[in-house]
Amino acid sequence: MTEKVRIAQLSCGPEYSGVQKEIYDAAAMVDAEVFFPDIALADVQQGFSEFGLDVRSPDLKLAIARAKALVEGRIDADAVFIATCFRCAEAAIVRNELRRYIHENSTLPVVSYSFTERTTSGTLLTRMEALTTIARRRALLAREEQEGITMGIDSGSSTTKAVIMKDNEIVGTGWLPTTEVLKSADGVVELALQEAGLRFEDIEAIGTTGYGRYLIGKKYNAQLVQEELTVNSKGAVYLADRQHGSATVIDIGGMDNKAITVQDGIPGTFTMGGICAGASGRFLEMTAKRLGVDITELGPLAMKGMEDTVPMNSYCIVFGTQSLVNALAEGSSREDVAAAACHSVAEQVFEQQLQEVDIKEPVIMVGGTSLIQGLVRAMGELLQTEIVVPPYSQYIGSVGSALLASGFIRGE
Amino acid sequence: MVKVFIYPATSLILSDMVARFGHEPLGSAIGIRERIQTPGIESPPLQITPEEPKKGLKWAAVEVPSGVRGRMAVYGPLIEEAEAAIIIRDPDYAFGCMGCARTNELIQFHLRHKEIPLLDLAYPTSDEEGVGFVAAIKEFLTGLKTEGSA
């Protein structure tokens, strides 16, 4: 059994919100333990005075003092989890500043979350898994080249993808909409094998990721079953050839979105969101359907349109759809509506998630939605930077899995 | 005997004073420790479940953070029960401390708007103020006793 990863919790409100047990449960699922840095009452006063953020809530002052103790090495930890109540402005400021402070002044992986009483261990699982992976598998994540013949399978909420890699080259791909998880996986594996001209027995190691990773991992006896935050960031910097230095990875998925800052291929801070489908690829799928075009045609259509001419706010998918229908009824062109939909999704991601990570260039967009040029353009305009979309960006999870899985061929 | 809500609710000193003068202190049965090894400064003695923030909706609306509502589920009923209250403003953490500033504001607001005898005192910063502080609490509690027995 591996040694437990020790996650230091800096928080305000989880006990009185009734979610502390959920945090413990999520950590236990990934063989980690949550602990509270032991500090003296006197340190609380000193800690926040030195930090310079004079908040009113004593528990937030306690979180600041604990963060200082971690950064200064007075307390040992493998990772940090910051959690505060959703809708508390004071806590949001502290959460943000502490995440930045720890990221800039230590090598500790850190993730933050704002909870409600409805937060469950399932919601926290992917975040905890990513935290423990970074802490536990630094050596594996340092891998920069794929070796041997490996396969990566990404079972996403909308689509299932497979990639076969051989000697650092992609030799086969498969892509299908996700229907039945296992059936879709079997389909993409077959497609990838056909394209690669290989038999299943030739595959030396397999990695799985995405929502169906456990089920598929079990069926195919995968050596690596890994959440998509670490896998996608690894795949992104590998495909974009930015394995050294800093980068930001944005993945607007079918069900949730990820924004990850990466340093030398290893995730530093990340956010994962998806409260409403209005800020996800799902809204763009709906838009394409309403406009009568295939999703692959939405991007080129949007590139011809002017988003400013159509008011659209997809904060909520229902209202977003309403704006879409109204705009078409008022005679707006399909091009303008497509552009407005892309802009709206980019804006939601920008407002809801990208404020929580420090954007470091280059910004790499990955996942199926990165092929929608209109969305990439809108994101670039909002971030005022040129977005990098690497080749095979829609296969990012599979490529990351195949790359990391090759570490298991020789038992790393 | 009068039921006296104490703020900070974690102050064992205030709780003891109220009891010594023959009244029933309403507060949390925990003291602030010199070393903090729990999630918060005044971690609840019992497991709070996600039901508590829902019960807290009686005192705070749904847009109020869950931590505030969870705390109000604990302190709200005590405030309703209170026949008198003592509020110590800006106390030293060692005297007693409650982790969430927003809940503290809300608790004090409810106490000030309840028509009960209320002692609203600043925490002393010198020995001299300390003597006056204790005397003021004693006078308040003695007065309650007189009213109660009248």
Which class does domain A149-229+396-408 fall in?
alpha beta
Query: Pick from A36, A90, A117: which is nearest to B39 by CB?
Result: A36
Residue B112 has pLDDT above 90, yes or no: yes
Mutate to test the interface with B, among A7, A9, A10, A15 (most CBs of B within 10 A): A15
Here the CATH number for the domain that contains residue B126 is 3.40.50
Phi, psi of A94 (to 5 degrees): -65, -45
Query: Pick from B33, B52, B67: which is nearest to A85 by CB?
Result: B67
CA B85 to chain A, closest CA, distance in angstroms equals: 22
Taking the C-alpha atoms of residue A336 and residue A309, their distance in angstroms, rounded to an integer, is 7
| Domain boundaries, position B109 | 3-149
A360 versus A163: which is more confidently predicted? A163
Residue A318 has pLDDT above 50, yes or no: yes
The chain A residue lying nearest B74, using CA atoms, is: A16
Residue identified by tokens 């898994």 is A129
Could you report the per-residue pLDDT of B13-57, keeping only the tens digit for each?
Answer: 999 999 999 999 999 877 778 888 889 988 887 788 999 999 999
The answer to whether B100 contacts A86, with C-beta atoms less than 8 Å apart, is no
**Confidence band (pLDDT; 50, 70, 90) for A274?**
low
Instruction: Give the pair of three-digit tokens for residue A120.
Output: 């469950």
Q: Which of A275, A304, A276, A299 is nearest to A287 (CA)?
A: A299
CA A355 to chain B, closest CA, distance in angstroms equals: 20
| List of chain B residues whose C-beta atoms are within 8 Å of the C-beta of residue A87 | 63-65
Multiple choice CATH, A243-389, 3.20.20.140, 3.30.420.40, 1.10.300.10, 3.40.630.10? 3.30.420.40
CA B14 to chain A, closest CA, distance in angstroms equals: 19
The answer to whether A59 contacts B40, with C-beta atoms less than 8 Å apart, is yes
CA A206 to chain B, closest CA, distance in angstroms equals: 40
State mean pLDDT over B116-140. Answer: 96
Instruction: Give the pair of three-digit tokens for residue B37.
Output: 């090894």
Residue A277 has pLDDT above 80, yes or no: no
ipTM for the assembly = 0.93
| List of chain A residues whose C-beta atoms are within 8 Å of the C-beta of residue B68 | 13, 16, 85, 88
Q: Widest CA span of chain B, in angstroms?
A: 47
Is A149-229+396-408 in the same CATH topology as A5-136? Answer: no
CA B82 to chain A, closest CA, distance in angstroms equals: 22
Count how many pairs of residues, chain A against chain B, have C-beta atoms within 8 Å: 128
Taking the C-alpha atoms of residue B68 and residue B12, their distance in angstroms, rounded to an integer, is 22
The answer to whether A18 contacts B40, with C-beta atoms less than 8 Å apart, is no
**Confidence band (pLDDT; 50, 70, 90) for A411?**
low
Taking the C-alpha atoms of residue A200 and residue A184, their distance in angstroms, rounded to an integer, is 16
The answer to whether A17 contacts B36, with C-beta atoms less than 8 Å apart, is no
β-sheet bridge partners, residue A387: A363
**Confidence band (pLDDT; 50, 70, 90) for A106?**
very high
What is the per-residue pLDDT for A395?
Answer: 94
The answer to whether A41 contacts B33, with C-beta atoms less than 8 Å apart, is yes
Query: Pick from B63, B93, B99: which is nearest to A57 by CB?
Result: B99
| List of chain B residues whose C-beta atoms are within 8 Å of the C-beta of residue A90 | 101-102
β-sheet bridge partners, residue A252: A257
CA A47 to chain B, closest CA, distance in angstroms equals: 14
Angle value at C-alpha A133, between A179 and A17, nearest 5 degrees: 80
Half-sphere exposure for A294 (CA within 13 Å, toward CB): 3
- Domain ranges for chain A, please list them: 5-136, 149-229+396-408, 243-389
Least trusted range by pLDDT, from A36-40, A211-215, A270-274, A296-300: A270-274
What is the per-residue pLDDT for A412?
Answer: 55
Query: Pick from A11, A36, A88: which is nearest to B37 by CB?
Result: A36
β-sheet bridge partners, residue A267: A262
State mean pLDDT over A243-253. Answer: 90
Residue B150 has pLDDT above 70, yes or no: no
The length of chain B in residues reads: 150
**Confidence band (pLDDT; 50, 70, 90) for A306?**
confident
The answer to whether B40 contacts A115, with C-beta atoms less than 8 Å apart, is no
**Count of structural domains within chain B:** 1
The chain B residue lying nearest A38, using CA atoms, is: B37
What is the per-residue pLDDT for B140?
Answer: 97
The chain B residue lying nearest A11, using CA atoms, is: B39
Q: Please answer whether residues B107 and B141 qualify as being in contact, where contact means their C-beta atoms are separated by less than 8 angstroms.
A: no
The answer to whether A57 contacts B74, with C-beta atoms less than 8 Å apart, is no
In order of A249, A346, A349, the CA distances from A383 in angstroms are 13, 10, 11
Which class does domain A5-136 fall in?
alpha beta
Residue identified by tokens 């095979």 is A392
Q: CA A338: distance to chain centroid?
A: 25
